[in-house]
Amino acid sequence: MKDFEQSKLLQALPDQFFAKLGQKVADAMKEGRDVINLGQGSPDQPPPNHVINALQQAAENPVNHKYSPFKGFPYVKEACAQFYKREYGVDVDPETEIALLFGGKAGLVELPQVLLNPGDVALVPDPGYPDYWSGIALSGAEMYTMPLTEENRYLPRYEEIPGDVLKRAKLLFINYPNNPTGAMADEAFFEETIAFANKHNLCVVHDFAYGAIGFDDNKPVSFLQVEGAKEIGLEIYTMSKTYNMAGWRVGFAVGNPSVVAALELLQDHLHCSLFGGIQEATAAALLGEQQGVKEQEEMYEKRRNLLIDGLNRIGWKVEAPEGSFFSWLKVPEGYTSEQFSERLLNEANVVVAPGVGFGKYGEGYVRAGLVVSEDKILEAIERIDRLKIFENRVDSFS
C-alpha cells in the first residue's frame, strides 16, 4: 500500500497531547488493569433529562433533517442572547454578536485562522489548553507564551511581554476559570486586559468553558460583563461542561461583530451548520430550568474537597482550585511531571495529566480531574498512599 506524504501544514501541527494520554489509558485497560482516570476532561454525568427529551422530540421534526441555515437557526442565537442577559446582565445582538460553533474547541482553533497572517503573533497562556497552539499553527502565525505562575495567582504579567513581540501581536488568549490550574479572574484583571488590548490593538479571546463552575460561592466573571470588552474581543462558551453535552459538539462565540462575522465566513466554507435537533436541544438547555447546573457545581465542589483534603492527609501538600473541574497539583521533589504521572499509572493505576503537556511552565505539576465518583476519588487516594511517596501523612485511609 502506497503511503502518501502529509502536507507541510499537517507536519507543522503540534503533537496531540491528549491523544497520546488517551492511548496510554486505553493500552492499560486492554491489559485488564482497573484504571482510575483523573487525567481526562470529559464530564461523567449525563445531560439534563429535559435536554435529552428536546433532542428526541426534535428528531421527529422533518425540518431538522434538511440542511440548517449556515449561521444557525435564529431561535438558538436568541436563546444564547437570553442566557447571557440572565446569567451576566450582558446585552447581546443575536444576529451580529453570536456565532454558533461546532464545540468550543472548533471556535478556538478557527479564531487564529480568521485573524492572523504569517508573521503575526498570538499571546498564549503557559500552562494553557494545547488546542490554542493548533489554530496558531494552522494560521502560519507565531506564538508567544505568557507564564502563569502560582506567585501571580496564575494570571499573566502583561508588562513582561517584550515590545518587539507586542508590535506583531494581534490576538490574546485568556481562560478563567482556568484549565489546567483552576484559577479564577476578577473584574479588575479583565479591566487591565481591556486597557492592554486597546493600547496594543489586540483582539482578546476569553475561553469561558468552565464558566458554570466556581467554588466557595464565587461565581465566575464573564469577560463581557466588563465595560469595553465587546469592543475589543469575544468570549467562547461551550455546552460541554455546563450541561454535560460534550459529545454533542456545540458552543457559541459572543462579542465583537467583526470577529463573529469572520468566524461565520470561515464556517460557511467548512460546514453546513449543526443538526437542527441539537440546536433545539441547545435552546432548551439555555432557557430551561437551571437547578441541575447549580447541583452539578456543588457536586464538583464536594469532589474537590474530598480530593484536596485526602491528598493533604496522606502528605501530598496541594492547594484547592477556585473553579473548573480540575486540580493543579505540585509533584514531589525528584520527579518531572511525566515521571510522576508514569509512576502513578504503572504502580497505582491512577491516571493524571503531566503538567508539561500544557506548556513549559506546567512542568512540576500534574492535573487531576474531578470527573469521577467520590468512591473513585477515595480509591485513587488510597492507591497513591500505598506507594509511600509522601512523608508527614496524618493517618490511614483504610
397 in a structural domain: no
Distance CA 251, CA 245 (A): 10
User: Do 295 and 283 reside in the same domain of the chain?
Assistant: no
Residue 3 lies in a domain: no
Q: Which residues make beta-bridge pairs with 323?
A: 214
Instruction: Assess if residue 394 is contained within a domain.
Output: no
The predicted-structure confidence for 210-251, as pLDDT tens digits, reads as follows 999 999 999 999 999 999 999 999 999 999 999 999 999 999
pLDDT band at 393 (very low <50, low <70, confident <90, very high): low
Same structural domain for residues 239 and 343? no
Does the pLDDT at position 186 exceed 60? yes
Task: Judge if 41 and 57 occupy the same domain.
Answer: no
* Chosen domain end from 244, 271, 287: 287
Band of residue 184 on the pLDDT scale cut at 50, 70, 90: very high
Is residue 207 in some structural domain? Answer: yes
Mean pLDDT of 11-40: 83
Residue with cell 506564538: 143
| 343 is a domain residue | yes
In this structure, the answer to whether residues 101 and 223 fall within a common structural domain is yes
CA distance 268 to 284: 25
398 band by pLDDT with thresholds 50, 70 and 90: very low
Do both 364 and 349 map to the same domain? Answer: yes
Instruction: Name the one residue in this structure whose C-alpha cell is 441541575.
Output: 292
The rounded distance, in Å, linking the Cα atoms of 392 and 390 is 7
Phi (first) and psi of residue 165, to 5 degrees: -70, -45
Domain stop point among 287, 314, 342: 287
Give the pLDDT score at 288.
96
Weakest-pLDDT range from 24-33, 83-92, 331-340:
24-33
CA dihedral 283, 285, 290, 296 (to 10 degrees): -150
User: Residue 360: CB partners within 8 Å, gap ≥ 6?
Assistant: 126, 145
Binned at pLDDT 50, 70 and 90, residue 396 comes out as very low
Mean pLDDT in the chain? 94
Do 42 and 69 lie in a common domain?
Answer: no
**Are both 224 and 166 inside the same structural domain?**
yes
- Taking residue 387's Cβ as centre, other Cβ atoms within 10 Å add up to 13
- pLDDT, mean of residues 203-208: 98
**Mean pLDDT value across residues 139-155:** 97
pTM for the full model?
Answer: 0.94
More confident residue, 344 or 8: 344
Looking at the structure, do residues 26 and 172 belong to the same domain, yes or no?
no
- Within a domain: 391: no
Q: Does the pLDDT at position 147 exceed 80?
A: yes
What 8-state DSSP symbol labels residue 349? -
Q: Give a yes or no: residue 32 inside a domain.
A: yes
Count how many domains the chain has.
Answer: 2
Convert the pLDDT of each residue in 116-136 to its tens digit.
Answer: 999 999 999 999 999 999 999
Residues 24 and 89 in one domain: no
Other beta carbons less than 10 A from residue 4's beta carbon = 5
Q: Are 206 and 346 in contact (CB under 8 A)?
A: no
Three-state SS letters, 109-138 = HHHHHHHCCCCCEEEEEECCCCHHHHHHHH
pLDDT exceeds cutoff 90 at 20: no
- Spatial separation of the C-alpha atoms in residues 224 and 207, rounded to whole Å: 12
Residues 107 and 206 both lie in one domain = yes
Q: Are residues 53 and 42 in the same domain?
A: no
Report the C-alpha gap between 200 and 287 in whole angstroms: 38
Q: Are residues 29 and 157 in the same domain?
A: no
Question: Pairing relation of β-strands 326-330 and 365-369?
Answer: antiparallel
pLDDT of 26-81, one tens digit each? Answer: 888 888 888 999 998 889 999 999 999 999 999 999 999 999 999 999 999 999 99
Could you tell me if 327 and 215 are in contact, meaning their C-beta atoms sit under 8 angstroms apart? no
Domain boundary among 261, 287, 313: 287
Is 393 contained in some domain? Answer: no
As a whole-number percent, the residues of the chain with pLDDT over 90 amount to 87
What is the pLDDT confidence band of residue 397, given thresholds at 50, 70 and 90? very low
Q: CATH no. for residue 259?
A: 3.40.640.10
- CATH number of residue 306's parent domain: 3.90.1150.10
Cα dihedral angle (153, 85, 288, 42), rounded to 10 degrees?
A: -30
Residue range of the domain that includes 364? 8-46+291-386
The grid coordinates listed for 16 are 496531540
- Whether the CB-CB separation of 129 and 163 falls below 8 Å is answered with no
Q: Cell digits for 206?
A: 476569553
